[in-house]
Amino acid sequence: MEHISKLSETSLTIREWIEYFREAREIRRRYANWDFIRSQPPKIRIALETGDFRTAAKMSNMSVDEFIEIAKESANIPTVD
């Protein structure tokens, strides 16, 4: 029975993480500068839309720091420092 209880706790934690990421995605979408994002080349535009900055930087041949700077300063995408 203890194993089932731990599984339930883990599932709840996963659900909480999923909700956290949904909320974060919604905040990024709400505050983003969509005119700037749409004006970018396809790889950078898709990367900015996804919010996966590590993969996005790699796809765009940029360092993660460079990409985050673009996301924060030009695209107005909120980030957690």
Predicted TM-score (pTM) of the model is: 0.63
Residue 18 covered by a domain: yes
Residue 79 covered by a domain: no
Q: Is the pLDDT of residue 10 over 90?
A: no
pLDDT value at position 59?
A: 80
Q: Is the pLDDT of residue 69 over 70?
A: yes
pLDDT value at position 34?
A: 92
pLDDT value at position 6?
A: 55
Considering its fold, how many domains does the chain have in total?
Answer: 1
Range of the domain at 35: 2-74
Nearest to 67 by CA among 48, 39, 80: 48
Token readout for 64 is: 């993660």
The sign of the dihedral angle between the CA atoms of 50, 55, 43, 57 is positive
SS3 of residue 63 by DSSP: coil
Residue 49 covered by a domain: yes
